[in-house]
Chain A
């Protein structure tokens, strides 16, 4: 039996969280971690959208409260990514490297003014 659309997308969301978490752990490069973190976040957003869809009623296709929170979440996630990328580019400008490994070259952890 095929699961209905909402359940199917809910399972998809759970898988996205898993994929994002895996990428977050195994990737040594910070940019890839940011990317993986976005995928993890997308999974959580989609779970929220599934919950909203299940709460459909009163003529709405979904519960508008979690849907509105999702819009807020997507915008804030962009702001967080922008801050993370700016930090990464500064690290690169300071050390010429983007590694966050503990054995980073001397000066790599104390870059700043």
Chain B
């Protein structure tokens, strides 16, 4: 029964992926991609990766989908008008190359070693020392905390990269168009009603992330979504990127992370080595500090480059 359901799931995922590749209308393709991302999350659940499924729904499907749909609607007149399609020969060659790569990967999948190498035992043996119950959080915040720090830094660099794409007249200005909506309309209504609920859910997801699926990235995405909703409803404007408080909010989380990592170095261990007895407390402090910064970062990445003066 489960096998049959998985077969249906795989068929739908591949069907939607193929459709988003071949469909002519770019806007339709991006909508297809969003639905495909949601189905993909079911595949992660099927692989017992609940934390990854949450991230996929929030970021992989939600934020990436919103980003692509926004870009597709802004580029609508151009993308449907161009006619520089590749010829039959190019398509054929591309199909052959892609099929060869996919076939090679499939052969590798079928030839994976048995028994599979795993670090699950090592994580289980050492998870107690971190004070958290969710092994993913343990890996993200203790065993591989450096990866998480670098990830937060990469996001920061991406924001700097996006901002640096601003034209001269909008340098340091606000991203995207000014949104105006009917003050009594449904969008403004949702923009007032949903954020309090979203904020509570985000904090809940952050908090349970210590012991159950969840965590700062998923929570931050919900916060970013709420912020974007309020902006799209026209209730607040996107802050100009030259605003100091905004820049401080962006770097606060990574800065706390680095500072506490340095505490670990000073306390005799290594950089990001949490002092014994304080592991859980420090992990929670870092996660709480990171979530608002990540939310602002993700929201600004979604908003894009500044396009109008402050």
A interface list, Cβ under 8 A from B: 2, 4-23, 25-29, 31-32, 34-36, 38-39, 42-43, 45-47, 49-65, 67-72, 74-83, 85-90, 92-94, 96-99, 101, 113
Contact = CB atoms under 8 A, between A and B. Distances in A.
A67 B64 contact: no
A55 B47 CA distance: 11
A92 B10 CA distance: 36
A63 B143 CA distance: 14
Interface residues of B, number: 96
B86 interface: yes
24 contacts: A6-B47, A10-B112, A11-B110, A14-B102, A14-B105, A21-B97, A22-B95, A35-B21, A39-B17, A61-B48, A61-B49, A62-B49, A64-B138, A65-B119, A71-B217, A74-B52, A77-B60, A78-B63, A80-B158, A83-B158, A85-B68, A88-B75, A98-B75, A98-B78
B43 A62 contact: no
A56 B71 contact: no
B297 to A, nearest CB: 8
A63 to B, nearest CB: 5
Interface in B54-84: 55-56, 59-60, 63-64, 67-68, 70-72, 74-75, 78-79, 82, 84
B56 to A, nearest CB: 6
A54 B49 CA distance: 12
B10 A12 contact: yes
B158 A50 contact: no
Given A10-B109, A82-B301, A75 B59 contact: yes
Given A55-B117, A71-B136, A113-B168, A79 B301 contact: yes
Contacts, number: 296
Contact of B158 (A31, A36, A82): A82
Contact of A32 (B14, B29, B70): B29
B140 A79 contact: no
Contacts of B250: none
A60 B213 CA distance: 12
A95 B249 CA distance: 34
Interface of B: 2-3, 6-7, 10, 13-14, 17-18, 20-21, 26, 29-30, 33, 36-37, 40, 43-44, 46-52, 55-56, 59-60, 63-64, 67-68, 70-72, 74-75, 78-79, 82, 84-86, 90-91, 94-95, 97-99, 101-103, 105-106, 109-110, 112, 116-121, 123-125, 135-136, 138-140, 143-144, 147-148, 151, 154-155, 158, 161-162, 165, 167-168, 215, 217, 298, 301-302, 304-305, 307
A81 B67 contact: yes
B157 to A, nearest CB: 8
Contact of B136 (A26, A49, A68, A86): A68
Contacts of B71: 31, 85, 88-89
